[in-house]
Amino acid sequence: MKKVFALTISLLILSGCSLPAGKQVEESVLRGAPEDNNIAFSEQDLLEDINKSRGVVSLKNTARPDSSQKQEQGNKIELENLFSTYNQALIRTNFGNIKVRFYSESPLAVNNFMNLAQKGFYNGTKFHRVIKDFMIQGGDPNSKDDNWDDDGTGGPGYKFQDEINSHKLARGSLAMANSGPNTNGSQFFIVTKEATPWLDGKHTNFGEVVEGMETVDKIEAVKTNENSHPVEGIIIESIGLLSSKDNYKLGEEELKELENYNGTSSEEEATSTEEN
């Protein structure tokens, strides 16, 4: 019989953002938790297994099984354990591709990201906050439209706990944006600074860029307004999941397969985004 390891995530009332300690200007851009329970993502099947009382998110079948793990009673959002099959992802943007690999030390953050990616949650979202020599931030469903006022406040409708590990946040790190301890949702950032020691221990570092830092650098160089919002749209067209055997540079054939995997072409997604 397969053992099941359940990681629980209390569903919190989504509150306003507070700033982590550290460099005021740079850390202020990392607020990433939703401010309310309005789910901007239209594909409600992501949360279809939640019943309407108290909520717990559980992750089944992880690489560290422990059937004795105590669960809270209540409803559950069940995240499929995609990390048992995939350990990398290709983030396709209108600025180029970014390939990342995931860390096993953060199974909840990794599986949350993968499940959202597989559902198409990130398709059409933008990198809505860019700070030169610091980071680029994306993953907010509110960023799909042309209203910049609520960018940085959206998420999947739940928050989950931190998974702090030994990986330092440095250039190329992929980490969860948050508004304080245990407030992770869907927003993430990629570090462009060589080292950010003031962030270590405050943000879940769940992966790193293995190809495409030139794309990250191109995004980092865009013109922004006084709120660090890019003046042009940096669109995440799709995110495709890759297994460890896919350890090669992706050519046109593989990119077409990933488009089919996501169920829409990048051109179609960009068009639907503009219309919405």
Q: How far apart are CA 224 and CA 32, in angstroms?
A: 18
Nearest CA to 79 out of 152, 160, 137, 140 is that of 160
> ∠ CA 39-276-112 to the nearest 5 degrees?
35
Nearest CA to 3 out of 46, 65, 45 is that of 65
Distances (CA, A) of 103 to 97, 106, 125, 158: 20, 6, 24, 22
Catalytic residue among 41, 134, 188, 206: 134
Catalytic residue among 31, 92, 171, 203: 203
3-state secondary structure 82-98: HHHCCCEEEEEECCEEE
Catalytic residue among 87, 118, 137, 262: 137
Active site residue 167: no
Catalytic residue among 14, 199, 241, 242: 199
Active site residue 137: yes
What's the order of all strands across the beta sheet hosting 75-79? 9-10, 55-59, 75-79
Can you name the residues that pair with 241 across neighbouring β-strands? 89
Active site residue 102: no
**Residue whose structure tokens are 């077409």:** 256
- Bridge-based pairing of strands 75-79 and 55-59 is parallel
Catalytic residue among 31, 128, 129, 229: 129
Catalytic residue among 178, 187, 205, 262: 178
Catalytic residue among 189, 206, 241, 258: 189
CB 34 within 8 A of CB 14: yes
Active site residue 41: no
Active site residue 128: no
Cite the active site residues. Answer: 129, 134, 137, 178, 189, 199, 203
